[in-house]
Amino acid sequence: MRPFDRSRVRGSLRRLVLVLALIATPALASADPPPAPEHLLPADEVLRLLEEASGLESAGKSNLAASRPDAVAADSLHAYDAIHYRLDVTPSRTSRHVDGTVTLTLVVRDPAFTTVDLDAIAMTFSSIKVAGSPRTTWTYAGGKLSVPVCEGPSCPPHATGDTLVVEVTYACNPTLGYYYYTRNSYTLAEPWEARYWWPCYDEPSDKTTLDLYATVPVTESCWSNGVLVDVVPGAPGLHVWHWRETHPIATYLVSIATANFWRFDQVAGTVPIVNVAFPEDSTKAKLEYVNVPAMVTTFSNLWAPYPFDKYGQATVDPFGAGGMEHQSMTTLRRSLLRGDRLYESVWVHELAHMWWGDWVTCVDFRDIWLNEGFATFAEALWVENFVSPTAYDANIAAAMNSALNADTNFRYAIYDPPPNYIFGTTIYKKGGSVLHMLRRVLGDSDFFAGMQLYGQRHAYGNASTRDFQQAMEDASGETLDWFFDEWIFAGGIPTYAWSWQAVAADPPAPGESDVALFVRQVQTAAPLYRMPIEFKVTRSAAPDTFVTVWNDAVAEQAFAVRVNGTVTGVTLDPRNSILKRVQNYVLDADVPAAALDPGPGRIELSAAPNPARGSVVLRGAWLGGGAATIPAAARFAVFDAAGRLVRDLGTAASAPGGGGFAVTWDRLDDAGRAVAPGIYFAQVVAGVKREARPIVIVP
């Protein structure tokens, strides 16, 4: 690299600007009718929609947004530090009902506090005590149980640093958080649903140790966090399973899974692994989990020794998510156990959460990418280490493709996602891609040293995005505000419009030539990106050479590179180190490329009624971007649960005033037959934006 003399290619540059002016116009789809729907949805979208659909029926990770507390900020007035929960529960095995007693040990932070506030939804309380003395004047409103510290003559010491013990005996019929089925009962509580099955301070930043006693039928086994202390007889026909987690755990990771399970043990070095599944799944489970010990070893070598006393996987059915990373005891969806390891990436993902999510927990759910982006990136690290670097490249390319599609449909920043997008594709796939990019920016040595430092600093605790940034800066010696600001705290993806031109070396140098590289960033509704961009330069009679330039956060930049030989071609980002859109064009041919940037605005799909017996009204609402971006028409279609097109519903014009589209699906397929009850996917396409949602048709 050397400084670039712009005057030498000024003519070409002026021409470049003209060409770019033509291609930089945002893609407004208003003039073009929406295309006919595809006949098959992509497999990864089908899986995502199926997860969402199962959430519709049974509630699960996709219902989580609905449970978002109204005033998370109110919890900032947290007057105590929860340090230990003893949780005695009897999950009913005949209905969705839980009886329990929570014994909270806390340390006072604010000596002026008068109540111990706990999150609890739809519970009844039969006994409440503070320091062993009954309380009768507690209040319960708005999902908060407020227990008076003092009542009458009973007023235990509560200066800063004092320890208090609060005991709450409760009962509930949870609508979320705890799930009962004939064959199994289990919990699934991320992010704010622990409060539906046990009273607690339900934010991820207040981690505690845990003793969990679960009373279940003697015909069943009950699996939970940490180590199994003992199993002792309870009332006739019941056993009490005592699990102890001595490592701090967040409330959303506290879990039980109980059923008549078959058990299969493995070991990874000194780490015991226990898997439980239904007895008839034993052969499949052994095949599916064959690589799990190697996964534990791989991640232990990359990051830190496995941080808990055991690892486990409990398979339950039905399950709203694919998997859930309950601390030291993951819960998995039974239908993923096929015997062919098709969903092995799910085992990898949940295991990776033991480090990123459980060992180091996001300080609140605005930083959820520190859990999900990391676990997604770990899927690529696993195949890189276990299969090949080529498999890593393919995994990253697929994640980037998903991130691009998600960005096309709805652009938002990774940090503090909109309420319905805490578990959005952008969090997972763009989040994972960001870690890949950071790895390429810093190099492997600094990057992995930074991950290890981040883990050591926040082990068994919490971390924010800026904490992660600080660890990477300290490990690398680089300042990284620019990187995190553009990739995490702002929404969007760069679109590079670029070209190159070979020119004679100046001053003349026999056998050498200069390559002029022109880079313009043409994205809209996104920042300008500062990034190192690598180019591959292909030469006649010489091997390819690679050069990296620092593209500043500017709309247009040009570079010159001196190379030996005659240049025959240039490739931007040959190793796929940047999540991006690219517009290539030939500098001296005035052929404008299609603008790729999706532009502002998005289409949101709703269906009502849902579940439905007869007709379903599908509505598309155009949000954001302003009136000028509203497409003239939107096109609707319905697919079956395998992703196959069932009905092309054609286009609907924007309603007067703009921004609303609606069609009615009469439950018929394209051949005019009524479809069978089951799960279907409705899709709306408006311009380059689309959204799909599950619909359930009931008999």
Residues that bind Zn ion (CB under 5 A): 372, 375
CB of 645 to Zn ion, least distance (A): 31
CB of 692 to Zn ion, least distance (A): 21
Cis before 389 (ω within 30): no
CB of 53 to Zn ion, least distance (A): 19
Of 204 and 492, which CB lies nearer to Zn ion in the complex structure? 204
Q: Given the DSSP bridges, would you call strands 311-316 and 271-277 parallel, antiparallel or unpaired?
A: parallel
CB of 663 to Zn ion, least distance (A): 35
Helix (H, G, I), strand (E, B) or coil at 90: strand
Helix (H, G, I), strand (E, B) or coil at 687: coil
User: d(Cα 365, Cα 72) in Å, to the nearest integer?
Assistant: 10
Of 353 and 439, which CB lies nearer to Zn ion in the complex structure? 353
CA distances, 403 to each of 346, 377, 396 (Å): 18, 13, 10
For the chain, the first-to-last Cα distance in angstroms comes to: 69
CB 489 within 8 A of CB 574: no
Residue 467 phi/psi, 5-degree rounding, is -65, -45
Give the bridge partners for 380, in sequence order: none
Of 351 and 497, which CB lies nearer to Zn ion in the complex structure? 351
Burial 654-690 (b: 16+ CB within 10 A, else e): beeeebbbbbebebeeeeeeeeeeebbbbbbbbbbbb
Measured in whole angstroms, how far is the alpha carbon of residue 469 from the centre of its chain? 19
Of 372 and 446, which CB lies nearer to Zn ion in the complex structure? 372
CB of 302 to Zn ion, least distance (A): 17
CB of 228 to Zn ion, least distance (A): 25
With tokens 């990477």, the residue in question is 472
Of 166 and 375, which CB lies nearer to Zn ion in the complex structure? 375
Of 377 and 484, which CB lies nearer to Zn ion in the complex structure? 377
CB 146 within 8 A of CB 117: yes
Of 167 and 372, which CB lies nearer to Zn ion in the complex structure? 372
Of 423 and 661, which CB lies nearer to Zn ion in the complex structure? 423
Give the bridge partners for 118, in sequence order: 145
Of 13 and 375, which CB lies nearer to Zn ion in the complex structure? 375
Task: Kindly report the number of other CB atoms within 10 A of residue 280's CB atom.
Answer: 8
Give, as one character, the DSSP assignment of residue 676: P
CB of 353 to Zn ion, least distance (A): 6
CB of 336 to Zn ion, least distance (A): 14
- Residue 138: which region, alpha, beta or left (left: phi > 0; alpha: psi -120 to 50)? beta
Closest CA to 63 of 409, 320, 251: 320
CB of 323 to Zn ion, least distance (A): 7
CB 319 within 8 A of CB 278: no
User: d(Cα 639, Cα 358) in Å, to the nearest integer?
Assistant: 37
Q: Which residue is nearest to Zn ion (CB)?
A: 375
Of 24 and 451, which CB lies nearer to Zn ion in the complex structure? 451
CA–CA–CA angle 154, 155, 156 (5° rounding): 115
CB of 604 to Zn ion, least distance (A): 24
Of 402 and 495, which CB lies nearer to Zn ion in the complex structure? 402
CB of 313 to Zn ion, least distance (A): 14
CA distances, 401 to each of 102, 430, 485, 564, 585 (Å): 46, 9, 22, 35, 22
Of 372 and 573, which CB lies nearer to Zn ion in the complex structure? 372
CB of 425 to Zn ion, least distance (A): 12
